[in-house]
A and B are shown apart, each in its own frame.
Chain A
Amino acid sequence: MKTRYSFGGDEHIFVEVDEEMSLEAFFKSLSITNAVRDAGIKGVTEICPANASFQIKFDPDVIRPDDMLAELKRLESAADRAESRIRTRIIEVPVYYRDPWTTETLMRFRERHQDPSSTDIEYAARINCYDSVDDFIAAHSGSPWFVSMVGFVAGLPFLYQMVDRSRQIEVPKYLRPRTDTPKLTVGIGGCFGCIYSVRGAGGYQMFGITPMPIYDPKQEISYLRDFMVFFKPGDIVKWKPIDRVAYDAIVADVEANRFTPRVRDVTFDLDEFNRDIDGYNRKLEEALYGH
């Protein structure tokens, strides 16, 4: 990992922690951005951690760009010694794979896809060498995923699969982006999973849909009353495959405002995770389901 600093015009500093994605790069980005927040530097207006980089927006009338840069470099060397351990939460997200709405949408944009003759999930299963779509779904939902960035549009989480790199699912994005994606579509582009928080354009392969709202600008949904965006970087997600009956039941519960996601507080330690990934994931799952 080699940190690279660059000014984004006169109001931003962009910091690439590493060119390639890894949880190590994410943790370093998170710990520097936390340090920037704690430092309370006057003139800083936005602190945005991303997958393997971060960005600071500042007011150059308050702090000179060179001084801002020096502050960040100082905080980076302090963050190098930080523990890779965070207090966070694990969340179960129900997914209705191969649902009719994303299927209808992907059929409308077939000419923009690498393989117009199969669906997104069939294509992803094949190029990742799974024998069947069911095996692919088992792999997708079999390990937890780490929220390594929130953004693109309001409240959209980017998720990183918590398995050995050799087992990570990877798919290309659409050849040309779609102009439509159903709200709450679950998909993957590159090595990143995502949940589309709002309806709109998108380029990720679409595998299914969740009935669980993750963004509510009206703040009416019970668990989004305190804040309209559900996810934050560092959250851990476990997908739970559900069928149409279960999907409809959750949608009805959401409409009656009696749905609450299953969430448990956990501590995540990157070094322990790296020592025994599968064992660590089993422990996370036990924390989620309490057995």
Chain B
Amino acid sequence: MAIEVKAPGLATTVQDLGRPGYYHLGIPLSGAMDRFALRVANMLVGNDEGAACLECVFMGPELEFTTDATIAVTGAELAPKVDGEARETWTSFRIKAGQVLSFDFLKAGARAYIAVSGGIDVPLVLGSRSTYPLGALGGHQGRALQAGDVLPIGQADGAHEGRTVPPALRRMPGNPAELRVLPGLYWHRITEESGRNFFADTWKVAPEADRIGYRFRSGRPLEFVPRKQPFGAGSDPSNIVDACYPYGSIQVPGGTEPIVLHRDAVSGGGYFMLGTVISADMDLIGQMQPHTPTRFVEVDMQTALTARRDRRALLDRVRAALA
């Protein structure tokens, strides 16, 4: 009842829906960057929606199975192969003991989720199986997979192969990608003109884009409203007295390159934030490759809540389609 890692891919980690409740101690939410894709992958193989999967970025691993299992790969277009034979993404298929799961080149998106019937059965740590590599916490030995690792898998309840998610129910960022933002937090620190520029410019995902945060380039630098820096904040106008950083918040150190914090966010620090990406759009970030052109779109709370409802409705439609 296990998977042997023949080749690990780039930064393949065990992830589930995350580890809420410990952010006040600097332990981030963790969990899949594209939680929609993780839920759907689990549905396809008959797991609980929050079962642990493998999250792989840009490149798939090579995995040998010591037991028969049902597999589904969702998220990025990273086509799976069983003993070299092509399989579909967003579709469950069978693998037999002794067979090897490998992957073709990435065609779209950035992160694929590999669900295995029974789930990846690493120990629960603080209520989650997610990996937080910086803190060496959770997942498989607190780190990304390495060749030679053996991953236990849980008990599956029957086969579920041949189920597929209709293309209309798959969710990927557009081009340019659009991330909806509720301005706030320290928005008042930048000038009105800078605020307009931030939403008018087309940004590009920088190479420094990972589970901690996504950095963006190519927009105009921000200008700050002059002030005497408050005691304890530090001398740069982008500094604040160190505070909590919300998941999804956008900080702009030095006013130059915005960073959107994601699942392995640093929980706090001394840079001002101008707003927060709405919860409905956080999954999209997990599918953005470096250089992806990106627009930040200003929205209000009502729009954010409506978008959240729409996203829930989409998940309900997937559940209905696979029921």
Contact = CB atoms under 8 A, between A and B. Distances in A.
Assign chain A's interface to a size class: 35 or more
Given A172-B235, A191-B232, A154 B134 contact: yes
A115 B301 CA distance: 46
**Which interface residue of B132, B242, B268, B279 has the most chain A CB atoms within 10 A?**
B242
B21 A12 contact: no
Contact of A53 (B239, B244, B276): B244
A196 to B, nearest CB: 11
Given A151-B24, A153-B26, A190-B270, A51 B279 contact: no
**Which interface residue of B184, B232, B273, B308 has the most chain A CB atoms within 10 A?**
B232
Given A50-B268, A151-B267, A151-B268, A165 B231 contact: yes
B225 interface: no
Contacts, number: 176
Interface string B23-37: 111110000000000
Interface in A39-67: 45-55, 57, 60-61, 65
Given A6-B184, A53-B244, A152 B23 contact: no
Contacts of A48: 23-24, 244, 267-268
A173 B235 CA distance: 9
B314 interface: no
B278 interface: yes
Contact of B244 (A50, A61, A200): A50
A51 B241 contact: yes
Contact of A217 (B125, B230, B235, B266): B125
A21 B231 contact: yes
A45 B185 CA distance: 19
B232 A21 contact: yes
Given A8-B249, A149-B242, A21 B24 contact: no
Interface string B225-240: 0000011111100010
A215 B24 contact: no
Interface string A240-269: 000000000000000000000000000000
B234 A189 contact: yes
